[in-house]
Amino acid sequence: MDVVFQIVANSIIAGSLYTLIASGFTLTYSTTKFFNITHGVMTAVGAYTVFFLGKILGMPLLLAIIVGVLFAGLLGWVLNYFIYQPLRKKNASQLSLLVASLGAFTAIQACISLAFSSQFQTISHTAVMQKTFSIVGASVTQIQLIIVASALISFVSLTFFLKKTRFGTAIRAVSDDEEVAKVIGINTDKVIGIAFFIASALAGLAGILIGFDSAIEPTMGLALLMKGVTASIVGGLTSIFGAVVGSFLVSFVENFGIFYTAGEWRDAIVFTLLIIFLMFRPNGIIRT
């Protein structure tokens, strides 16, 4: 019985991480309608920024984390401004945007490998917040509780942001129809830029949290991206709530799946889920 509780706890933790990635991915996909592969590498960007500032330069950890999140967000904004926005202006197809983002993904990942080597690393010298709690038989560390809390906070604030602010209305207008949004006077470039910033910052945060929970490597982004994308597709690619539901479905299937098989099959399990959804429910499980 304890095992089941532990798996549930692991699923909730993983689902929270995927929520951070998937909600950002859904945000940019709904505004720009292309699969932004670089979204995945933002996890590594955030994590390695903290690694560099905190572990190598010795900056206070909290400050390093804040800078890491902001830097990932900024990089997302920059990529949109210098690559995706010009391509959209040229009416480039979704596929060429996808290939461009695949290129950017590969290049950024290679840069991180060149700078910090491709080895597994810990994000800081000392293990922080590893104190273990026991909750109904499942053992959970402090950092894992923070992961769940971060996902909850980001979901609530993002939902509030999208529902209650003018920026949120603008985002929804751009998602419905970019041309119409332009006509009614919304600065769509700016709105999409902010969406990229928020999405990348959230992915960066996810990467940092993973770094504190386990370890980091330059290629950490791809599997996380694909899980985030799977979660987004399961959730319908239109709403943050859908992304959250998708994230938890993915994490539960993944964690119960490896319980019945073995840990190394986690990626294969998730991508089988992705392909099943693409085949049978390409619009996801949430109807809007």
Where does this chain touch another protein (CB under 8 A) — which range of 15-23, 48-56, 57-65, 113-121? 113-121
Q: How far apart are CA 266 and CA 168, in angstroms?
A: 35
Instruction: Strands of the chain (E only): list them.
Output: 132-135, 138-141
Give the CA diameter of the chain: 58
Residue 229 as a binder of another protein (CB under 8 A): the answer is yes
Q: Are 51 and 116 in contact (CB under 8 A)?
A: yes
Residues constituting the chain: 288
Among 108, 191, 220, 224, binds another protein (CB under 8 A): 108
By CB under 8 A, is residue 197 in contact with another protein?
no
Please report whether residue 119 would count as binding another protein according to CB under 8 A: no
> Using the 8-state DSSP alphabet, how is residue 239 labeled?
-
Q: Quick one: which of 286, 275, 232, 251 has its CA closest to 10?
A: 251
Q: How far apart are the first and last CA of the chain?
A: 37
DSSP reduced 3-state for 181: helix
Does residue 87 belong to the site contacting another protein (CB under 8 A)?
yes
The window from 121-129, 162-170, 175-183, 271-279 that contacts another protein (CB under 8 A) reads 271-279
Q: Which is nearer to another protein, 145 or 222 (CB)?
A: 222
The two tokens of residue 178 are: 């970019």
Compute the least distance from the CB of residue 281 to another protein, in Å.
Answer: 12
> In a 10 Å sphere around its CB, with 0-12 CB exposed, 13-18 middle and 19+ buried, how is residue 90 labelled?
exposed
Q: Does 281 bind another protein (CB under 8 A)?
A: no
34 binds another protein (CB under 8 A): yes
Of 54 and 76, CB closest to another protein: 76
Q: Are 46 and 216 in contact (CB under 8 A)?
A: no
Residue 268 in contact with another protein, rule: CB under 8 A: yes
Per CB under 8 A, the segment of 20-28, 88-96, 190-198, 203-211 that binds another protein is 88-96
Q: Choose between 33 and 163: whose C-beta lies nearer to another protein.
A: 33
Structure tokens at 97: 């945007």
Per rule CB under 8 A, count of chain residues that contact another protein: 44
Site string for another protein, 65-84 (x = CB under 8 A): ------------------x-
